[in-house]
Structure 1
Amino acid sequence: MNLVGSKRKGMPRTLIVLVLFLCQSISEAGPATNVAGYDFVGTTSYPNDGLVNAGRIELEQDVLIDCGFTNRAGTLAWYGTNTSPGRIIKVDLSNLQKVETLVLEEGDDFLSAAVIDGDERYGYFGTKTEPGKIIKIDLETMKRVGEITLPEGEGNLETAIVNPNGTTAYFGTYSAPAHIVEIDLMSFSRTRGLLLPANESLLISGVADAAGQFGYFGSQTIPAKIVKVDLSNLTRVDSVSFTGYIGPRQGVIEPAGVYLYYCLSTPAGLVRLDLANFGDYDILNLPAGQVNAVSLLINGGGTEAHMGLLDGRFAQIGLTNFLYKGVHASQGPGTVDDVPVALRPADLPNTAFVAHGGVPGAIVRVNFLPLERSEPLLLEDESHLSTAIVDHDGRYAYYATDTVPPRVVKIDLERLKRLQSRILRTDVLGVLSSAIDGGDLYGYFGTRGDATSGTALMEVNLDSLYVDRTLTSDLNGYPSIAFDESVNRGWLGTRTT
């Protein structure tokens, strides 16, 4: 049974459809035609049949993959890491072997958005910092060749798209309000910016149409939104909201250019949006137990969609009748804890590469016919868990590490699954103590202290796991916290004599 919600702009309505369908082995489904997706991040491509499983690579120190792209031939990929400083990992996709790692300069932190130019000579990596930076990399020599520091407010770059000829890129910010920044890749300069309305903030994804006329950006607001932007003059055209949903994680325009498909994270669903009548859409919800949709691949005939779930599985959707068909094998090592980066080379029709940004990170090769996956390339794991908090429903726990830099890890206690992991700050010591507020909105983490780093109390948003505010002192660590929910006040124990 599938629940499909529909809405026509100006004529709100809800349609409930009961569907009887035949379950069968997904590997025995009819042959997929051309595979659509990204030939590089932010643009659609429609090569031939695809997705088969093929190899494993272990990268012990390259963790927290958050963005990336491939060349058109599908022989090489470059991944950026959510670390400080950021690292760029060059991977040979033919044998899933690491070629080289470039460690960037101090301040080139938390790479989270990336595009490749039309000549495949240079890559451009945006940082999740304030102010935001765009780092230019020579992909052949793996050298840093330039940077743009953006104006105030244009920081926390979370998504990027590029026009079809690879000459202009558009970076979206995870901020409130949100900005879209246009970058001329030929001159490597910022040309203009667009400030979006306050209720269209926190951009997390984007896709450009095949003509490069319009871009569509996903907004992590409540409710979720998709914002349409005219790229020719960088103006906002319209937006559409999806009441009851959050997290429009990844979008793909199908080959005919009629529909934009977007995976919605929570509850997990696939939205089909009519591009000619922007605002007309249908939503297909996934069955119970299939949650946190975070990536999307579509075959070139526009008949099949594969939605990557945070637990590592793919949900398969038939697009002709817009019906759920089943769920298939894990795309990762079974310890996924961050949003996957799904890449589709333009000229490699049968293959996609899914990189998991968690710890351990993993890169997996996936083929469509037969539908299989490789053993993963595993990356580094967490260590030295020192303290934890649990929400009041007993659903989620948040473990912090006594490491430098410290991390916080979100655990689903019902399924005993790791969901998400973040580095807290790079300029503080390990975490010793923790507390949670009465509304389960924020966690408070106290650190060790010394004469150089001091001691910090970090307020962490438990949805994003990012640090919102920090209180610093010269005390010798906070080994304990007592929190009174009735007055929203905490008391910190110190090691000071």
Structure 2
Amino acid sequence: MKHSKELPNRLLVTRITVLIALSFHLHLAPGHAANIAGYDFVGTTSYPNDGLVNAGRIELEQDVLIDCGFTNRAGTLAWYGTNTSPGRIIKVDLSNLQKVETLVLEEGDDFLSAAVIDGDERYGYFGTKTEPGKIIKIDLETMKRVGEITLPEGEGNLETAIANPNGTTAYFGTYSAPAHIVEIDLMSFSRTRGLLLPANESLLISGVADAAGQFGYFGSQTIPAKIVKVDLSNLTRVDSVSFTGYIGPRQGVIEPAGVYLYYCLSTPAGLVRLDLANFGDYDILNLPAGQVNAVSLLINGGGTEAHMGLLDGRFAQIGLTNFLYKGVHASQGPGTVDDVPVALRPADLPNTAFVAHGGVPGAIVRVNFLPLERSEPLLLEDESHLSTAIVDHDGRYAYYATDSVPPRVVKIDLERMKRVQSRILRTDVLGVLSSAIDGGDLYGYFGTRGDATSGTALMEVNLDSLYVDRTLTSDLNGYSSIAFDESANRGWLGTRTTNDPSRIRVRSFDPSKFAFGTKDYDVDSNYDGNL
């Protein structure tokens, strides 16, 4: 069913962590950068921010208004189209961020706003935002204009373009009412057919294709905003989804697993998560007040983090595992308010993007996605000497135990990186050395140190309340490790015998009965790994 998920009132803007390093790996599916095989990447103007570092930039002329572009697979060259009259195509050497050449097009080749590259990387195709619409073919090696297609009446104002994964067919969407989707055979450079959409699915401004090239999803700048699903194999409309109260589906990305399509909505700024298997099912997460005009979207390679670029240059971060807002980064982009940026991420450079700012003056910035970023530490209160931790299977909560007397356990919300609650486990046991979590995330098992007075304790802790439900004690010399077999619902405790610390002992326990097993396994210091 359709539903929206509103943002909670209390927001945590600054991200904090407890000795946790965050990975930020971003990569593309096979194919070219931008608009191919499931990814339609437009970038942010916020540098630096989490996992991003400005690695260089090139300033362009004052009158350059970049509105579209693509790179080769290797990420060594890029070609950008300008929203000028006549249009210009700028070739850039990405290895050193130097402009190679600028091609000024002919009179009437105006306002380039959609572009794709063919599978051989020899030719580029630029659509004009004019009436009638044109598609200009460019030899990318020689930077010569080699042909054009003038489209029929009504197929003008080209605003978005996608291509199939092998780069043999392109689909141009029109910013018109009604809207058209035009299929172009790039091999013969000919218009093969067109699709006229219903009147209430007009003004196409964005598009993304799935990895198989079977379906395309086009954003409609109507009121309300819509996403239109099109079968690319026969160029027929399949369905559409409306988002009441929203306009401007500016950018779409299909996450790496191919389960969800994410789209950033411009006004009010929000992120929609749409189930591709059940096209009508979606959630919407609204950004907080003051964060408006979302224009771009990036998703990391693991499909766990989304970064929404705002028109004012800031960048909102969303955790996709639990679909929660995480914070916003201050703008450090050029100028005050930038035009919609165009970001290209080459297929062979998974951790690098090239962001072209459409404002005045124009600029192209190389951004590296850092593989590792450490955030500021979360300072705890009464919890010291952290010794062991468990994390639930969704990666939402962590439970840290202390090697202190009495021992404590503290619950941490990993999405918001905040301390949720803390509790003393027992006052009559020593510090905690080991821990494990059950398969249902209901209980944690914590093993303590041991001595002749206190013995050794295994505590079953309710992870909701953090109270100890049950305790098993023994005269063993502390539980230095715990392993949990979810398939057999059985735990294993590693320890040493009190009378001979050189001897290793493995003891099993049954969580359902909360009882030790009937047999221990003793091994000496020459233990060969077999029980």
Output the TM-score relative to the length of structure 2.
0.62
Deviations 1:389-437 (A, max 9, x none): 9999999999999999999999999999999999999999999999999
In structure 2, what is the equivalent of residue 16 of structure 1?
Answer: 12
Q: Distance in 1 between matches of 2:457 and 2:217?
A: 39
* 136 and 53 in structure 1: CA distance in 2 versus 1, 3 angstrom threshold: same
In structure 1, what is the equivalent of residue 160 of structure 2?
Answer: 159
Deviations 1:185-243 (A, max 9, x none): 00000000000000000000000000000000000000100000000000000000011
Q: Distance in 2 between matches of 1:173 and 1:403?
A: 66
Q: Distance in 1 between matches of 2:62 and 2:399?
A: 23
Shift in Å at residue 342 of structure 1? 2.0
Counting aligned pairs with the same residue, the percent is: 95
Shift in Å at residue 334 of structure 1? 3.3
Shift in Å at residue 335 of structure 1? 2.9
In structure 1, what is the equivalent of residue 33 of structure 2?
Answer: 32
| Aligned 8 A contact 1:40 1:116 in 2 | no
* 444 and 25 in structure 1: CA distance in 2 versus 1, 3 angstrom threshold: closer
Q: Distance in 2 between matches of 1:184 and 1:373?
A: 48
The structure with the largest alpha-carbon Rg is 2
Shift in Å at residue 300 of structure 1? 1.1
Q: Distance in 1 between matches of 2:384 and 2:17?
A: 45
| Aligned 8 A contact 1:168 1:185 in 2 | yes
| Aligned 8 A contact 2:391 2:397 in 1 | yes
In structure 1, what is the equivalent of residue 472 of structure 2?
Answer: 471
* 253 and 380 in structure 1: CA distance in 2 versus 1, 3 angstrom threshold: farther
Equivalenced residues, count: 488
Q: Structure 2: which 5+ residue stretches go unaligned?
A: 24-30, 499-531
Q: Distance in 1 between matches of 2:337 and 2:435?
A: 24
In structure 1, what is the equivalent of residue 172 of structure 2?
Answer: 171
Further displaced range: 467-476 or 40-49: 467-476
| Aligned 8 A contact 2:181 2:195 in 1 | yes
Shift in Å at residue 455 of structure 1? 93
Shift in Å at residue 168 of structure 1? 0.2
Q: Distance in 2 between matches of 1:62 and 1:457?
A: 71
* 75 and 485 in structure 1: CA distance in 2 versus 1, 3 angstrom threshold: closer
| Aligned 8 A contact 1:36 1:299 in 2 | no
Further displaced range: 373-382 or 41-50: 373-382
| Aligned 8 A contact 2:75 2:348 in 1 | yes
Deviations 1:87-135 (A, max 9, x none): 0011111222111111001110000000011111110000000000000
Shift in Å at residue 367 of structure 1? 2.4
Shift in Å at residue 249 of structure 1? 0.4
* 127 and 335 in structure 1: CA distance in 2 versus 1, 3 angstrom threshold: same
| Aligned 8 A contact 1:229 1:237 in 2 | yes
| Aligned 8 A contact 1:33 1:49 in 2 | no
* 357 and 151 in structure 1: CA distance in 2 versus 1, 3 angstrom threshold: same
Further displaced range: 451-460 or 112-121: 451-460
| Aligned 8 A contact 2:35 2:208 in 1 | no
Q: Distance in 1 between matches of 2:66 and 2:92?
A: 12
Computed over aligned residues only, the root mean square deviation of the Cα atoms, in angstroms, reads: 24.7
Shift in Å at residue 38 of structure 1? 4.0
| Aligned 8 A contact 2:194 2:235 in 1 | yes
Shift in Å at residue 337 of structure 1? 3.5
Further displaced range: 420-429 or 305-314: 420-429
Shift in Å at residue 154 of structure 1? 0.2
Q: Distance in 2 between matches of 1:120 and 1:483?
A: 53
Q: Distance in 1 between matches of 2:407 and 2:348?
A: 41
Deviations 1:252-296 (A, max 9, x none): 000110000001011111110000000100111111221111011
* 479 and 212 in structure 1: CA distance in 2 versus 1, 3 angstrom threshold: same
Shift in Å at residue 345 of structure 1? 1.0
Further displaced range: 70-79 or 375-384: 375-384
Deviations 1:297-346 (A, max 9, x none): 11111011111110112111111111111222536313334211122111
* 189 and 289 in structure 1: CA distance in 2 versus 1, 3 angstrom threshold: same
Q: Distance in 1 between matches of 2:162 and 2:454?
A: 38
* 322 and 480 in structure 1: CA distance in 2 versus 1, 3 angstrom threshold: closer
Deviations 1:3-36 (A, max 9, x none): xxxxx99999999999999999999xx9999999
* 432 and 96 in structure 1: CA distance in 2 versus 1, 3 angstrom threshold: farther
| Aligned 8 A contact 2:33 2:72 in 1 | no
* 15 and 454 in structure 1: CA distance in 2 versus 1, 3 angstrom threshold: closer
* 45 and 320 in structure 1: CA distance in 2 versus 1, 3 angstrom threshold: farther
Deviations 1:62-106 (A, max 9, x none): 511111111111111111000000000111112221111110011
Further displaced range: 369-378 or 280-289: 369-378
* 22 and 91 in structure 1: CA distance in 2 versus 1, 3 angstrom threshold: same
Q: Distance in 1 between matches of 2:86 and 2:426?
A: 12
Further displaced range: 411-420 or 244-253: 411-420
SS at match of 1:39: coil
* 97 and 183 in structure 1: CA distance in 2 versus 1, 3 angstrom threshold: same
Shift in Å at residue 370 of structure 1? 6.7
* 319 and 450 in structure 1: CA distance in 2 versus 1, 3 angstrom threshold: closer
Further displaced range: 427-436 or 196-205: 427-436
Q: Distance in 2 between matches of 1:494 and 1:152?
A: 81
Shift in Å at residue 450 of structure 1? 100
| Aligned 8 A contact 2:32 2:72 in 1 | no
Further displaced range: 430-439 or 391-400: 430-439
Q: Distance in 2 between matches of 1:71 and 1:275?
A: 29
In structure 2, what is the equivalent of residue 117 of structure 1?
Answer: 118
| Aligned 8 A contact 2:230 2:239 in 1 | yes
Q: Distance in 2 between matches of 1:158 and 1:466?
A: 59
Shift in Å at residue 480 of structure 1? 84
SS at match of 1:77: strand
* 44 and 365 in structure 1: CA distance in 2 versus 1, 3 angstrom threshold: closer
Further displaced range: 365-374 or 425-434: 425-434
| Aligned 8 A contact 1:52 1:351 in 2 | no
Q: Distance in 1 between matches of 2:399 and 2:202?
A: 26
| Aligned 8 A contact 1:154 1:173 in 2 | yes
| Aligned 8 A contact 2:118 2:167 in 1 | yes
